[in-house]
């Protein structure tokens, strides 16, 4: 297997402040670049902040030029970067993610939030990367929703990456399912959670990575950091990198 360095950004969002969040994302990206990370995934709604009521005014189309600094960073550092946001589609606003790829392209993954009743959307897990380093994106799905990891495995992904907000009350439940999918589908799983709580929602932190046997590679505690998984000829190894 080729060497592969992946990381979950345990990120503290600035609620409602797009420009501040883009700048803060770039801090994480530069830290990841210093660690030679190939894939960096941020949690659900990392560009807007996790709030009980998301406002449609925060939604962007995935090609919005305000996201260009993230795209430029992906090219500069030859890194796949996946961020969480509200996506503006033709018919609705969706909670989802955008992947910025090293070749300068973008790919989106969304889950309907508020669409008209006559519009039907199919859940889709984009597959990006190649040469034993492909990743299936899955944002905002509940950890017990098997459709996402099952689809990732069917696509032949080498890793399933998901970012969501997991609170303290549900942490053990969510971890159990993520570990189960890794073992069931022989598919490493990378999970990114928020670093800061939002209103009544108390984040558990604990961003993590499991290998294809379902064994824990790395698990974070609290605070802003990178939970890093490194694959080499001996298997997967993990480390925690604090944000500097």
**In the predicted model, is pLDDT for residue 95 greater than 60?**
yes
pLDDT at 193: 96
pLDDT at 122: 45
CATH of the domain at 220: 3.60.110.10
What distance in Å separates the CA atoms of residue 158 and residue 161, rounded to the nearest whole number?
A: 10
DSSP 101: P
pLDDT at 213: 97
Name the helix (H) or strand (E) containing 27.
helix 18-34
Tens of pLDDT along 143-165?
888 989 999 999 999 999 999 89
Mean pLDDT of 48-52: 77
| Average pLDDT score over the chain | 90
Task: Tell me how many domains the chain contains.
Answer: 1
**In the predicted model, is pLDDT for residue 116 greater than 60?**
no
**Could you list the residue range(s) of the whole structural domain that residue 108 is in?**
4-242
Mention every residue, 6+ apart, whose C-beta is less than 8 A from residue 215.
none
- Global pTM? 0.93
pLDDT at 29: 98
pLDDT at 55: 66
Mean pLDDT of 230-234: 96
């Amino acid at each position: 297997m080729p060497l592969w360095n992946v990381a979950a950004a345990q990120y503290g969002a600035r609620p409602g402040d797009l420009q501040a969040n883009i700048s803060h994302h770039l801090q994480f990206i530069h830290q990841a670049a210093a660690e030679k990370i190939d894939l960096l995934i941020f949690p659900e709604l990392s560009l807007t902040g996790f709030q009980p009521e998301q406002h449609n005014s925060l939604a962007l189309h995935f090609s919005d030029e305000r996201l260009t600094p993230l795209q430029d960073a992906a090219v500069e550092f030859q890194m796949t970067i996946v961020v969480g946001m509200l996506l503006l589609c033709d018919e609705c606003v969706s909670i989802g993610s955008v992947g910025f790829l090293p070749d300068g392209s973008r790919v989106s993954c969304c889950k309907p939030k508020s669409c008209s009743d006559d519009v039907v959307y199919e859940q889709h897990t984009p597959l990006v990367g190649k040469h034993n380093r492909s990743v299936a994106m899955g944002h905002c799905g509940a950890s017990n929703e098997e459709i996402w990891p099952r689809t990732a495995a069917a696509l032949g992904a080498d890793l399933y990456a998901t970012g969501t907000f997991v609170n303290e009350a549900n942490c053990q439940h969510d971890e159990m399912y993520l570990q189960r999918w890794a073992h069931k589908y022989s598919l490493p799983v990378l999970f990114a959670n928020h670093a800061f709580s939002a209103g009544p929602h108390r984040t558990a932190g604990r961003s993590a990575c499991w290998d294809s046997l379902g064994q824990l590679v790395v698990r974070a505690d609290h605070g802003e950091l990178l939970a890093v998984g490194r694959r080499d000829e001996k298997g997967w190894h993990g480390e925690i990198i604090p944000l500097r």
